[in-house]
Amino acid sequence: QVQLVESGGGLVQPGGSLRLSCAPSGGDGGRYTIGWFRQAPGKEREFVGCNRRSAGDTYLYADSVKGRFTISRDNGKNTVYLQMNNLKPEDTALYYCAAGRPILSAARDETGYWYWGQGTQVTVSS
């Protein structure tokens, strides 16, 4: 069993930045693909990005965040980060990190992730 705790959410103005953290416990997060998902009120949960480790690190991002969001790892701290720049109001959502071992072609599918955090709220508003 892997437990995940997200932190770093908050209220920011459009164009601002936030860095979310995902701290795994109860297991080695480095063995898993770590994905970030988000869910806005009244909408389905959607893929944001992931870091998949196989022959090397592979990073995938949703088109809506590509070029603005970056996932990184600090293996020494066993922490995964989601750096969010140039935030837009449509980025407002509850953000989750998740761990699993999806194949590459299914890495954007939430069904490939076995462990989920409780989420951290990101609100982008003037």
pLDDT in tens, 46-85: 999 999 887 678 899 999 999 999 999 887 888 899 999 9
Smallest CA-to-CA distance from 63 within 48, 52, 51, 50 is with 48
pLDDT average, residue stretch 79-108? 95
Smallest CA-to-CA distance from 69 within 2, 17, 121, 30 is with 17
In the structure, what pLDDT confidence band is assigned to residue 14 with cuts at 50, 70 and 90?
Answer: very high
Q: Are strands 10-12 and 120-124 parallel, antiparallel or unpaired?
A: parallel
Through-space distance between the first and last CA atoms of the chain, rounded to whole angstroms: 40
At position 8, the amino acid (one-letter code) is G
Smallest CA-to-CA distance from 124 within 97, 93, 95, 96 is with 93
